[in-house]
Chain A
Amino acid sequence: MGRLDRVLVEKVAKRYGTERALAGVSLELVRGTMCALLGHNGAGKTTLLGVVSTLVRPNTGSVTYRSGEVKLKGEAVRREIGLLAHASLCYGELSAIENLELVAGLYGITASVTAVLDQVGLEPRARERAARTYSRGMLQRLALARALLTKPSLLLLDEPFTGLDRGGALTLGEQLGGLKADGTIVVVVTHDLEAIAGRTDHVAILKRGKLVCEERSDLSYSYDQLKDLYHRNAA
């Protein structure tokens, strides 16, 4: 199966009981772009990431995953998705290496676990230790390594800069820029506009479950442009 070229979100709505999380959101994600998914807390950003990651079933609407002219489904889609969520998605009792080896086994890949840990900057002496002993920043690096290990063509990141120091955030921003240049579809939910400025070329702003703004640019958005868009639409 090939890498994803396009993800089409069409009129997706999701309710949790009486609470409306998403109301008819349509969005197109294209390879080699970085989409900044912005909005206040409770706007529906995480739910939308859940729907795109196949972990949340929408009440109405659909998500189509395309590789060229082929529509991918089920396991073929999940193989192409990398997710960095609020939680680390890693087992506290296992070390960083064991966590990544488990992922590699489930994905049937033989990627170098050490190389990806080097890439995210998790210090070597911490790698054999149980993940529950990690600081928030180290855990975030492990979670990122977990998401990158499978070389996904759709990378979904929910507040990826949380817990990282300024240097770590800038390095992550650069890495995401590199992945975008390699053809990965990157979707970032964040409030840290500075970290994604100069790299994002697609902005989607959600407000109370509705998509209130979607813009694309051939050039990346600057920090001032992102801030302006956010304040004009999310407020």
Chain B
Amino acid sequence: MLRHALRIAWKDLRIEVRSKEIFMTVAFFGALLVVIYSFAFQDKSAIRAAVPGMLWVALAFTGTISLGRAFDRERENDTMRALLLAPVPRLSVFIGKAIAMGLLNLGVAVIIVPLLALWLNAPLFAYPLELAGIVIAGSFGIAIVGSVFAATLLKARSRDVLLPVVLYPILLPLFVAGTKCTAALVAVNPDLDIAHYWMDFVGIYDAAFLVLSLWVFESLVIE
């Protein structure tokens, strides 16, 4: 199953590398958000408190846009049907899409995090390993939950509006945990115990939703 999932993920990444459509658009949007933040938060003393929220709002927005467009691509020539018709476990379609989306989210985070650190002079790299851990777990969490809903809404007429409306309430615990973890890392007195607690929380959240998604994916995507 993993072999087929990797094949599907590789196909998605290959198409993205060729078109650069999603990555360029979303990375540019992420950079724009950082510029807007820099104008909105003129009080530099507030940056330390605000930067965790800025980071996770940016990841939420860019993640949703990526998901919508990536699954639109499967709708254009009805290629999702082709994937579902292949004699491979249908779960490998979900896993493949989630891997590709997770890597894409991560790629965008690699642009947003240094921009936030440089532009706002935010101490995001005080604990780089911990920050990398929470961003990786968050990026894949968004991809796991998002892939299920984006695939389910593929045939819905107003899917662009529906996706964030459906997705954000479910992703809320992940965003809260990500923000809390980042806040603990960038605080004047960093608290690694709190950071690790929220990292564990996101890890459990990802695992729980992965299991749930594997369970419901097929029944949701078949008409």
Contacts and interface: CB of A to CB of B under 8 A. Distances in A.
A75 B11 CA distance: 21
Contacts of B44: none
Nearest to A53: B85
Contacts, number: 72
A106 B77 contact: no
B77 A93 contact: no
A85 B73 CA distance: 17
Contacts of B88: 75, 106
B15 A106 contact: no
Interface in B73-89: 73, 76-79, 81-89
A83 interface: yes
Interface string B59-77: 0000000000000010011
Contacts of A88: 77-78
Contacts of A85: 78, 81
Nearest to A51: B223
B100 to A, nearest CB: 13
Interface range for B: 20 to 34
Interface residues of A, number: 30
B76 A78 contact: no
Given A55-B222, A55-B223, A87 B86 contact: no
A76 B89 CA distance: 11
Interface string A81-97: 10101111111111000
A66 interface: no
Contacts of B15: 91, 93-94
B77 A89 contact: yes
Best-buried of B7, B82, B89 by chain A (most CB within 10 Å): B82
A82 to B, nearest CB: 9
B198 to A, nearest CB: 38
Contacts of A130: 18
A102 B87 contact: no
Nearest to B155: A16
14 contacts: A55-B85, A55-B222, A56-B223, A88-B78, A89-B77, A89-B79, A89-B81, A91-B15, A91-B73, A102-B7, A105-B7, A106-B87, A107-B86, A108-B87
Instruction: Give me the 7 closest cross-chain CB pairs, A-B, nearest first.
Output: A87-B78, A79-B87, A89-B82, A106-B86, A75-B87, A93-B15, A78-B87
Interface of B: 4, 7-8, 11, 14-15, 18-19, 73, 76-79, 81-89, 222-223
